[in-house]
Amino acid sequence: MILDGKKTSEKILNQLAEKVKTMDKKPKLAVILVGNDPASEIYVSSKEKAAKKIGVGSVVIKLPEETDEKTLTDKIYELNNDETVTGILVQLPLPKHIDKNKITDAICPKKDIDCFTPENVGRLMQGREPYFNPVTPQGILMLLDEYGIDVKGKHAVIVGRSNIVGKPMAQMLLNRDATVTVCHSKTENLDDIIKTADILISAVGKKVVRCKMVKSESIVIDVGISRDNNGKIVGDLDFDELVNVVKYITPVPGGVGPMTIASLMVNLINHP
């Protein structure tokens, strides 16, 4: 069965639009985009489109590639103090001369809509509510919820340990009583570990997981987004082969990507 992220995200966005109509003070998203990375520009425009669709405000602050750390942090402080701004998102990746941690640290945790700040990550690690949940992992859990999939007691294997996907995904699954294994580029016997997964989440950006490694009847989430030799957007996994083997699978595109956007909008509406 296909876990349809496109359909589910549309449903969530429609529900949020109804909720926004009842809000006296509409939330507002501020996105900072540094440089001209074409993929980042596409991601930012889909966030703007979603904000428009649900009827909340959004502002995109475009800064040139050569922007220095001080200019960027000053901009963030300005947005922290702007009462009309509910959530601040700094689109990654940042140019190499900018220290990502310094930028993250500048964001007020109560406006840290991506859950990047140490305070929010710390809260998540302690099993307390962060002010905002990390968007991609939250989007994945929203999709599982939509299909009535309970992760409790299941063995979830995550391939990838980034701060954006792998690590917060592990913690959120743990907080929901799953048993979690996190794999990465140094993991030995990856095949054997993947074979034990009831829930497999691939967040690598390349084809590491092969079809023969995946347990039949498992639940498979493909977070990866990359382009094949023809420029077509593809995931980490071979969807056409796996769809006949596993119980549930997300497509790419149309799986985790739209759920990430919906999850961001959920955060915007549920801001502290």
Q: Which residue in 35, 55, 205, 254 binds ligand NDP (CB under 6 A)?
A: 205
158 strand-pairing partners: 182, 201
In this structure, the strands spanning 57-63 and 28-34 are parallel
For residue 41, the surrounding DSSP H or E stretch is: helix 38-54
60 strand-pairing partners: 31
Q: Can residue 225 be called a binding residue for ligand NDP (CB under 6 A)?
A: yes
- Which part of the chain contacts ligand NDP (CB under 6 A), choosing from 22-30, 56-64, 161-169, 242-250? 161-169
* Rama region for 153: left / alpha / beta (φ>0; ψ in -120 to 50; rest): left
Q: Can residue 103 be called a binding residue for ligand NDP (CB under 6 A)?
A: no
114 is catalytic: yes
Q: Which residue in 110, 155, 161, 271 binds ligand NDP (CB under 6 A)?
A: 161
91 is catalytic: yes
Q: Looking at beta carbons only, is 130 or 168 nearer to ligand NDP?
A: 168
Q: Looking at beta carbons only, is 67 or 250 nearer to ligand NDP?
A: 250
Q: Which residue in 117, 171, 260, 267 binds ligand NDP (CB under 6 A)?
A: 260
DSSP 212: G
Which one from 114, 138, 167, 171 is the annotated catalytic residue?
A: 114
Q: Can residue 162 be called a binding residue for ligand NDP (CB under 6 A)?
A: yes
State the Rg of the chain over Cα.
19
Q: Cα dist. 258→96, 136, 252 in Å?
A: 28, 10, 10
155 strand-pairing partners: 179
Binding-residue pattern over the window 227 to 256 for ligand NDP, x denoting contact by CB under 6 A: -----------------------------x
Q: Can residue 221 be called a binding residue for ligand NDP (CB under 6 A)?
A: no
Contact (CB, 8 A) for 29 and 1: no
- Which part of the chain contacts ligand NDP (CB under 6 A), choosing from 6-14, 55-63, 169-177, 200-208? 200-208
- Token pair of 141 as six digits: 């859990």
Give the integer Cα–Cα distance in Å for 187 and 167. 15
Task: Provide the binding-site residues for ligand NDP, judged by CB under 6 A.
Answer: 136, 159-162, 164-166, 183-187, 190, 203-205, 208, 223-226, 256-257, 260
Active site members: 47, 91, 114
